[in-house]
Every structure is written in structure tokens, then in C-alpha cells.
Structure 1
Amino acid sequence: MEYLKKAYIAGGCFWGMEDLFRVRPGVVDTEAGYIGGENENPTYENHPGHAEGLEITYDTRQTSFKELLDYFFRMHDPTTVDRQGNDRGSSYRSAIFIQDETEKETAKEVIKIVDDSGRWNGAVVTELEPFTKFWPAEQYHQDYLVKNPNGYTCHFERFGTFL
């Protein structure tokens, strides 16, 4: 299935991101996990340097990496360093985990569009990090807000499209 691709992002607590992305057109699957850190087999209790991230499987016939990034910059605040809502620390950083040069150029293009829009009260601080390995989070974190509809989230759609 050459039309299925994966994207890797982080923008605060993975619960809220997963809940919003799971229903986006063209998104086939989402998985909460850890990415970009120092240890193998990270856990919620031990994930130094890892961000709480999201693996998004998407159908390129229905959406694009650029459209996913457009939504990413609308549903979290990309102007805060190591923070989303009440969550603080590098686990909650805004990051795009780049798999190839095309993704890197697309990410830079979208960041420029977002910055030039002036919609946020500051410059985008989203990090472009090389993709290494994605580690799925514990089962109780998967689909957390489906299982716990009143659970905490700081993610919501703030604007219409930047594109």
C-alpha cells in the first residue's frame, strides 16, 4: 500500500493530539508514544529527552503531509518552548520528526506560512528533529480520551487553515 505514509509530531500531551488527529480526513491510524529521546524502551516513568509524540498513518490520496502540518499548527500553540497548557518540560515540546528532505522542506514552508500569518502572538519555536525511532506508549495512553471522555487536554482547533 504505497499510498499509506507515516508522520511523526509532538506538540504537548499526546492524548489531546491523538484525539483530534484520529478523526481528520485521510488519517487511517494514530498511536501515542515517545520519540526523540535518550533511552531504549521508554516508559511514562522513564523517558529522558523523549517527547510525548504521535505516529500518524495517513492516506496520501486523501491528505498530505503539508495538510497534516497545517492542522498541527492550528491545534497546539507552537510558540511556547517546552510547554502546552499546564504541561511543562521537554516532553511537551513542539517538534516535527523529519524522515527525509521533502518533509524538511515542507515543514520549513509551513512554518514560514504560520509565522507570516501573524495569528500567533510570537514566532514558531517548533523543532525540526531527525526521525530516529518511535516507541509506542503504554496501552492505557492509547485512545485515552475515548476511554476517559472527561480527561485533561489543552488541544483544540484555534484557527481555520493557514493554507
Structure 2
Amino acid sequence: MTAIAAINRPRLLLADEPSSSLDADSQERILSLLMEMNRKYKTAILIVSHDLSIIREFASRFLVMYAGKIVEEGPSSSLFSPLHPYTEALIGAIPHKERKGQELENIPGKIPSVEDNLPGCPFAPRCKKAQEACTQSFPPEKEIAGGKVHCFYPLGETNG
């Protein structure tokens, strides 16, 4: 599939989990090919992935979505300095050599359906920082340190 995309030289390539279920060498080859397409043909690449290390290494910007809503976006260099509690929880669930033998963090609560159409932040029922405002309306966008977050109580702020 990647070879077909390279032959056609698209202006935009959607790479949905491009390295999923591949060994490390195959992952590296696929991702290197995508980056070569980006440099050589100026192809814009939208990578959809649960592997945050790939996003940080190969993307210039990131978006984090929860229940169909964007909760955080910014330069990929700031991905591991999260502003939204959900992004922080995702990072806490990544296995690390340094944490060998320790349990990964679990996000408590039930995953909402996008059909639930909750009035507030969809992460509020599972969020450690949630307060009443979080359940009443979806938080407006805040710009912080070159990134954007939809959270009434973003990480690093002292309110709440």
C-alpha cells in the first residue's frame, strides 16, 4: 500500500496506524519511506496512531482526541509535556524500560460513546481534575506555551 501511495505522489497521505503490528525494522522502513515522500514530493502526511513516540519523532504537530473531540494540540516536541489530563493519562499508560515490573497507569471509569453527546468535557467523568464546570459545557480553547487545550483546569495552571 505504501508503494502505491509513493508512485502516485499524493499531496496528502492519510497513514492510519502505519506501524501497527510490525516488527521494529519494518516500522522503521515504513516510517522512513513516509518521511522521504514528505521531503521529496512535499506530501503532507496525516498520521493516525496510538503510538505517541512515533508521533513525537515523525510529526511536526499533534492532536489528541477524546470521544470525537479535540482536547489538545501543539508542536510534537511538547507532546510529552501535556496540558490536558487525558494526554497525561495516555502518556502514563506507555510502557517504559525504567518502569519494568511496575503496573501501567489505568484510566478509571467507563469510556463514553461519541453518541452520548455529553454537554461538558467528555473526559470529565474519568478526570482527576474535573469540577462542576467540566460537566456543564465543553471548555473553550486556551492557548498555552505554543499549544492549544480545551480544559477548564489545564495541567501546569494553579487554578482549581
TM-score, scaled relative to structure 2: 0.23
- Which has more strand, going by share of residues? 1
- Which has more helix, going by share of residues? 2
TM-score, scaled relative to structure 1: 0.23
Tell me which of the two structures has the higher relative contact order, counting C-alpha pairs closer than 8 angstroms and 6 or more residues apart. Answer: 1
